[in-house]
Every structure is written in C-alpha cells, then in structure tokens.
Amino acid sequence: MAYDVQQLMAMTQEQLDDLFKASPAGDIPNGEAKGTAIVAPGTVYSEHIAQIINVFGWQGKVFDAEKGLLKNKVLFFGFQAIVAKVYKGESWLDGKECIVLDYSDTSLAAKYIRDEIRLIGPDFYLGKVYWGKERLIDFCLEF
C-alpha cells in the first residue's frame, strides 16, 4: 500500500509503530527530503502542529549517502544545520535493522537525539525520534 503524509497523521501511535515494525530499512537515502513532524498522531491537532513546526522549526533533511552524513533544514528559510551520522543499525523500537540518524558525536544542540527511519514506500520514509532512550515524536521524509 502506498502511503501519504495525511494518512500517517490520521493514524494512531500504535498504527504508526506497527507500520514502522513491518517496514524494511531500505537503502540509505541520498539528496533532499521534505520533512513532516507527526505530533499527536490520530488527533485533529496533528496537522496544525506539523504546519507550525514546518514554518518555524524544521523542514526536512539533506542526506549525503556517500559520506554517511545529513544536515537538517531548519528555521523558516531552510538553513542547513545540525549534522548527524547516518548508518544502518538495530532499532530501539523492535531490534530489527533500520537507518540510524545519530547526532551524539556531531552536534552539541542535538547530542542526545537519535532518529530511526524505515522505508514505507518509494522515496518515502517513516521515522522515530528519541531523546536518550525516550521516544518523542514521529516524522516522515519525502524524497
């Protein structure tokens, strides 16, 4: 089944987790991706929160698969900052392979952040954000 952002925001947290668990890691992506934060999934607030975050905070990520790095696009003008290492590893959610976006050695601001992504459709990834080992929010990336 092909997914889109609206479908993901309408899902419950349990449904998002199940989709992540059922999806393959996929290849480490390359290039620019539009990002959407998924906060309060399955509620009427999810889309509004995502729009506010997209305008004022985070718009997506730019991957360099060859170097195993990415930069986040932040602030309302898409400034590229907050670098992460990118590699395949074990998911904290289910222990299966995922693509890890690791900020621990590359960013003071995001030192305790770890993202995990898996491929849920052509050029479309679902992600989980952790602060330490605590899950925060979900997000998706469209290439």
Half-sphere exposure of 89 (CA within 13 A, CB side): 13
58: its two tokens:
């985070």
Residue 74, CA distances (Å) to 2, 59, 60 in order = 28, 6, 8
Mean pLDDT over all residues of the chain? 95
Q: Give pTM, 2 decimals.
A: 0.95
Give 3-21 pLDDT, tens digit per residue: 999 999 999 999 999 999 9
Query: Residue for token digits 């539009």?
Result: 34
